[in-house]
Chains A and B, each alone.
Chain A
Amino acid sequence: MKKVKVKVCVCTECVMNGAMDIIESIEGLKKLKVQLRLNSQFQVETDNCLTGEKHHGRSPLVMVEGELLEKCTSETVMSKILSHKA
């Protein structure tokens, strides 16, 4: 089964800007297995600070399959993840 790797930055700024809610929405995708015809697994990891530097207004940051997404919302992350599903 294909694995989609997701890393969510949980630094102070990203958490304030909704990182935990993004994780929640990714977890929520698993409940839509049937509707989405999911054949992939999502592997969600948290990261102390993606990029290792100050985000300068780019938070929250999420990395999906190696691609860094800036100013993320639940909508953009969910659709990016689904674009990688098998």
Chain B
Amino acid sequence: MRGIYTPVTNLRRQVFAEIAKLAYEGGDYSRIEEIPYKIIPGEVPTYRDSVFKERAIVGERLRLAIGLPLRRADEHAPVSKGVNESAVDKRVYEPPLVNVISFACNACEEKSYRVTDNCQGCLAHPCVSVCPVKAVKLVNGKSTIDQEKCLKCGRCKEICPYNAIVKNERPCAAACGVDAIESDHLGRATINYEKCVSCGQCLVSCPFGAIADKSQIFQLIHAIKTGEEVIAEVAPAFVGQFGPLVTPQRLKEALKQLGFSDVYEVAIGADIGAVEEAHHYAHNVATGEQAFLATSCCPSWSVMAKTQFPELASCVSDALTPMVATARIIKKEHPNARVVFIGPCASKKLEASRRTVRSDVDFVITFEELMGMFVAKEIDFGDMEGEEMVDATAAGRGYAVAGGVADAIVESIHELYPDLQVQVDRAEGLRNCKKMLAIAKAGKRNGFLLEGMACPGGCIAGAGTLQPINKAVAAVKGFQQDAPLKEAVESPRIKQMQDE
């Protein structure tokens, strides 16, 4: 469902735009109670069995967009409960980040194989022959599967000449690479937060729009409204996300119109990280001291690697992520500024609330949430001018697309240590990342550079993006070509830091 605009997408974006509008207008926020009626007008339900339920779900989404917890379904509480108290200029984050709105959940069946009425009851019925546990039988001329016996191996599905056997799988669970989706007593999805790494893939994969993450736009807008210095750092995946009118120059100008005092490219931090990891590789991995080097920029990947493979934790790079490295530069140059990371990613919200990062990054919002702010402020890109972005190199900007991180590091190694040979393996999607680490654990990736990306496609496919992946890849490539400098080692920031 990624890359297609569905009614779920529509609801999610309207919620962000309405919350942004509410915050800009200010005043008494108990009028949030009216927004569900605006988003779901009339008396006839469109998506669900009743218009009241539709509005209640929108109410939960509004609360999450403000950063508030979900309400209990068995206790009375207005949508506005706690909203006025949340109208502050600081992040109010309370875990968990990713939430299942349980009464929006369809309680989809857990993984199973079912025979559909496409079954012809054929003479060959190979489904029966391939089943290793005799779970498939022909009953009254139709194939049936004994769910108690079924191993869920999928062999019957593969062999059926009529495609009559289907795999039922919860889309949220299928999207979750760390198997964090479980069920409550009513069969609805719940998230095991011990396992969840907040990549957000479940929330963009649920066809019922039952999963959402908490947003910080409400508080961010209040911070901007104080008039104090607020600086944006934009992740390189931004290009092309806001439509054909929004060039990098115009985005910079639009952010200033929203009240940001300056705009930095996060790719600056990527350049720094790439060079640091190149040195680290040469000093520790090429010498055999450390088995391999795993990249650190994707927090979902690095948290998964450290928690599920604790014995490999020392092989995960400890270079600052591009978000943090850039934030520290900003705070150095503007000690009183608040830093807002604007990116494609849900898990950066969690990274920014870590104890060690909390003081560097004040807010994290996604491109989709920023779009809501543009719409609320009625920003018109049509005839906007703006300054060029010239801060980062092509290599740093390439971090946005899967493979780009490894490319940047390898190029840096070639520049700095021309005689070194580097072997690279990479994986996209946490399930594949786990497989890669299992192979590494078996000692088969010694001397390698391992790039892990939680989202299939890389950052441009993050949960907070707006455009289809293929379009976004093309846009990032164009932005890389526009970069005045190509290799990460050429970054003027690195020179500047060495001089200091």
Contact = CB atoms under 8 A, between A and B. Distances in A.
Partners in one complex: yes
A18 B245 contact: no
Contact of B468 (A13, A24, A73): A24
B10 A11 contact: no
Nearest to B4: A21
A19 B382 contact: no
A69 interface: no
Given A18-B5, A18-B9, A74-B5, A10 B380 contact: no
A20 B467 CA distance: 8
Interface stretch (B121-129, B166-174, B368-376): B368-376
Nearest to A60: B5
B378 interface: yes
Nearest to B371: A16
A46 interface: yes
Contacts of A12: 242-243, 371, 374-375, 378-381
Given A11-B382, A18-B10, A46 B244 contact: yes
A48 interface: yes
A15 interface: yes
A16 B468 contact: no
B306 interface: no
A15 B242 contact: yes
B382 A17 contact: no
Contacts of A46: 244-245
B17 A16 contact: yes
Interface in B345-393: 371-372, 374-375, 378-383
Interface in A1-28: 10-13, 15-22, 24
Interface residues of A, number: 19
Interface in A60-86: 73-74
Given A10-B245, A12-B374, A16-B371, A21 B5 contact: yes
A16 B375 contact: yes
Contact of B372 (A16, A24, A48, A49): A16
Contacts, number: 60
A75 B381 CA distance: 27
Nearest to A19: B243
A22 to B, nearest CB: 8
B471 interface: yes
Contacts of B378: 12, 54
Interface string B6-36: 0001100100010000000000000000000
A12 B377 CA distance: 10
A24 B209 CA distance: 23
A17 to B, nearest CB: 7
Contact of A15 (B9, B371, B383): B371
A72 to B, nearest CB: 10
A78 to B, nearest CB: 13
A81 to B, nearest CB: 17
Contacts of B468: 20-21, 24
Nearest to B468: A24
Contacts of B5: 18, 21-22, 73-74
Contact of B382 (A22, A48, A73): A48
A19 B5 CA distance: 9
A65 B286 CA distance: 64
Q: Which of B4, B5, B9 has the largest number of chain A CB atoms within 10 A?
A: B5
B244 A10 contact: yes
Contacts of B17: 16
B24 to A, nearest CB: 15
Contacts of A54: 378
Contacts of B374: 12, 16
B253 to A, nearest CB: 13
Contacts of B242: 12, 15
A80 to B, nearest CB: 17
Nearest to A74: B5
A13 B18 CA distance: 12
Q: Which of A10, A20, A22, A49 has the largest number of chain B CB atoms within 10 A?
A: A20
Contacts of B4: 21
B74 to A, nearest CB: 35
A49 B243 contact: no
A33 to B, nearest CB: 20
Nearest to B245: A10
A66 B380 CA distance: 24
A13 B243 contact: no
Given A17-B13, A48-B382, A49-B382, A10 B243 contact: yes
Nearest to A54: B378
Q: Which of A18, A19, A49 has the largest number of chain B CB atoms within 10 A?
A: A18
B371 A11 contact: no
Contacts of B9: 18
25 contacts: A11-B245, A12-B243, A12-B378, A12-B379, A12-B381, A13-B375, A15-B242, A15-B243, A15-B245, A15-B466, A16-B374, A16-B466, A17-B13, A18-B9, A19-B243, A20-B243, A20-B244, A20-B466, A20-B468, A20-B471, A21-B3, A21-B4, A24-B3, A24-B471, A73-B5
Given A24-B471, A46-B244, 4 more contacts: A12-B371, A12-B374, A16-B17, A48-B382
Task: Name the 4 nearest CB pairs between A and B, nearest first.
Answer: A15-B243, A18-B5, A21-B5, A48-B382
